[in-house]
Amino acid sequence: MEKEIIDEIFFEYEEELEKAHNHQISEYMVIRAGRANPHILDKITVDYYGVPTQIKQMANITVQEARILCISVWDASQVKNVSKAIAASDIGITPSDDGKIIRLVFPQLNEERRKEIVKQIKKIAEDTKVAMRSARRDAMDKIKDLKKNGEISEDEQTSLEADVQKLLDSYTAKIDSTFATKEKEILEI
């Protein structure tokens, strides 16, 4: 019985750590780094016949060149709506359309803007680590409860707490690696 409880604690804990890491990755995908990235449009919705719809569900999005994104809307009557939604969003790029295809030209980032973006991604990484430490605290509390209830010994508690910390350390390394990769991409000229 106690092994099942411990396995459940670790399963939930690792699930929380994985969820935090995936959130970091998804946040990084929508950050503009000076090159065309279709994921930058993921959070933008268009009022499509009364239903808020993501652009990727109503258009074909392709990277034409390193810094040009082409959006080919399937319903030609919605090109203007998609263009307005992009213009109204906070991505900082003005769309240009010819009535059929919308083009987003990503400007080259200046050094000041690059440093701002690096600060932004560093904050996301730190927030992710905070969420992971919270998950660690929850797992540690559950282990302490097992000890308090006499279900595990003090040695088992110490061993399990060390395992919890090792798992956190491995995920912290993943967070740092993801951050370093994104930072390199942003600072690359």
The pLDDT value given to residue 1? 52
pLDDT surpassing 90 at residue 27: no
Q: Are 102 and 69 in contact (CB under 8 A)?
A: no
Full set of structural domains in the chain with CATH: 2-30+110-187 (1.10.132.20), 38-105 (3.30.1360.40)
Dump pLDDT digits (tens) for 125-137. Answer: 999 999 999 999 9
Give SS3 for 141.
helix
pLDDT surpassing 80 at residue 70: yes
Average pLDDT, integer, range 150-168: 91
Q: Compute the distance between CA of residue 104 and CA of residue 112 in angstroms, rounded to an integer.
A: 22
Give SS3 for 97.
strand
Average pLDDT, integer, range 107-135: 89
Q: Are 123 and 117 in contact (CB under 8 A)?
A: no
Q: Are 55 and 40 in contact (CB under 8 A)?
A: no
Q: Are 98 and 160 in contact (CB under 8 A)?
A: no
pLDDT surpassing 80 at residue 85: yes
